[in-house]
Chains A and B, each alone.
Chain A
Amino acid sequence: MAVNTGNVAELVGSNEQTILPEWIELQKKAGSLQTGRITENELASQSREFLHLLRDGLSRGGSEVSNSAYGPAKQMLADVSRSRALQGFSPSETATFVFSLKQPIFNVLNRNTTLSPAQAAELTWSVTLLLDELGLYTLEVFQKSREEVIVRQQREIAELSTPVVKLWDGILALPLIGTLDSQRTQVVMENLLQTVVETEAEIAIIDITGVPTVDTLTAQHLLKTVAAARLMGADCIISGIRPQIAQTMVHLGVELNVISKATLADALALALERTGRAVTRLKKATPASGQNKMSAEKGQ
């Protein structure tokens, strides 16, 4: 479809002073400023810049968005879309930026008396197609930016949620938080085994207080971790199974053939006992001071 979009470019250029305020007004009406994420000045300058770039595209690129003349306009849309995605705009708010430009341009086309009705209709149609495509492009970039955010967050969660803590000489704790999938299990396992080698630990306590659900798959992942630790010569204790989860596990028929304790404290007590230690109170706590200098390690 070879439409002479040069006409539109000229019209847009000469009527910039009417299109721009109308467009900005429409964007405001659609609520672009309500959330307070961008200022009116920013919106105006973004709109002006895009209008200029669009005009350049129209004058040289015809009605095909794939034409390289639209490159700068698309680049600018991508930037706007990406920054809006990161600022937390909704998809429709972002798309409104492009779609609300339709009406002002149509108004200009209608008001122009030099065009025949047929010409005006044809130009309107090609501009519609053009802006629709640009709108879709904006949404695509928006979506992609959101996905990037999600991937980054996933990576951060994975890094944050698999610490291995040394509780005592030869005793490690592994507080698990969040759902255990196979990818995370892999990370947890590698971390744990590496730390077992570094600290020469004999006992590892896997605390699952922060694991919301334990199904057969999670149990399998846990057992794998336990088995791998055992191969390295470290015993595992599982602690922090919540009452509801314990019930669910029994109903599901999930069996963890591992020593399990209700709390991390119980597990630590067992670990100390296994490594030949005991915790005793040095002297009776004085109720007035409230200070508990209670524990001391008795030699192995």
Chain B
Amino acid sequence: MDRIPILKFGNALLVTIQVDMHDRLATALEEDLTSKIVEHGAKGVLIDISALEIVDSFIGRMLDNIAAVSRILDAETVVVGMRPAVAITLVELGLSLAGVKTALNVERGMALIQARLKTSDEDDDDAED
């Protein structure tokens, strides 16, 4: 497999990483995701990494990059399902992913994105009034 599938879910994009990430796969995902956000006008990106057992500094930086790129394109990134061991490793590596939102599982992450969409809708309504 040389591509990670990106699913459209309402206004959000859902990425579930099921295989061990290697660097080229990560770069490909970053590019694919950027173009998909623009294509679908997505407002949120949900990345599920619950199956990832190893996250090195490169993958950590990729997550940060994706978040930064999405923010520019007006989409919010939520990383969900990180394992305790992975979290500890990332912190020890000095990567606290400050620009990325996190949630415990897909359900919570989706709720986070929905909440954001709701508030932005309300803002739009206010603007119309």
Residues of A within 8 A of B (CB): 186, 189-190, 193-194, 196-197, 200-202, 224, 227-234
Contact = CB atoms under 8 A, between A and B. Distances in A.
A231 B122 CA distance: 29
Contacts of B88: 186, 189-190, 193, 228
Interface in B79-128: 79-80, 82-84, 86-88, 90-92, 96-97, 102-105, 108-109
Contacts of A229: 87
A224 B91 CA distance: 6
Given A224-B91, A228-B90, 17 more contacts: A189-B88, A189-B91, A194-B84, A196-B84, A196-B104, A200-B104, A201-B104, A227-B91, A228-B87, A229-B87, A230-B102, A231-B87, A232-B82, A232-B84, A232-B87, A232-B104, A233-B80
Interface core residue of B90, B96, B97 (most chain A CB under 10 Å): B96
Contacts of A232: 82, 84, 87, 102, 104
A200 B86 CA distance: 17
A230 B104 contact: no
A234 B104 contact: yes
Nearest to B89: A228
B78 to A, nearest CB: 9
Nearest to A186: B88
A126 to B, nearest CB: 59
A189 B86 CA distance: 12
Nearest to A225: B91
Interface core residue of A193, A194, A202, A229 (most chain B CB under 10 Å): A193
Contacts of A230: 96, 102
A300 to B, nearest CB: 13
Nearest to A201: B104
